[in-house]
Amino acid sequence: MVEGLVKALVENPDEVVIKPIEGDNAVVLEIQVNPEDTGKVIGKKGRMINALRTIARAATGDSDKKVLMELI
């Protein structure tokens, strides 16, 4: 789901790579985009990346795992 949202934001959707890394209490989503698209994913004052984090957390439902995002 996050991949589809990120691809909709960027100019180069074919260069979006999302790598999930699962731990005991958290899932880290490493998001890699074209350097020109980094600002679009972050958004003004980080609003876009925070919205993506909120959506990812809501998608986990009642799971006790945290969802973290890192933009690489």
Q: Which domains does the chain possess?
A: 2-71 (3.30.300.20)
Per-residue pLDDT at 30 exceeds 80: yes
What is d(CA 37, CA 7) in angstroms, rounded to the nearest whole number? 10
Dig out the tokens for 19 from the structure: 């790598």
Question: If you average pLDDT over every residue of the chain, what do you get?
Answer: 89
Rounded mean pLDDT of 13-35?
91
The pLDDT value recorded for residue 67 is 85
Per-residue pLDDT at 44 exceeds 70: yes
The pLDDT value recorded for residue 14 is 94
Strand order in the sheet with 66-71: 17-22, 26-32, 66-71
Q: Which of 32-41, 46-55, 56-65 has the lowest mean pLDDT?
A: 56-65
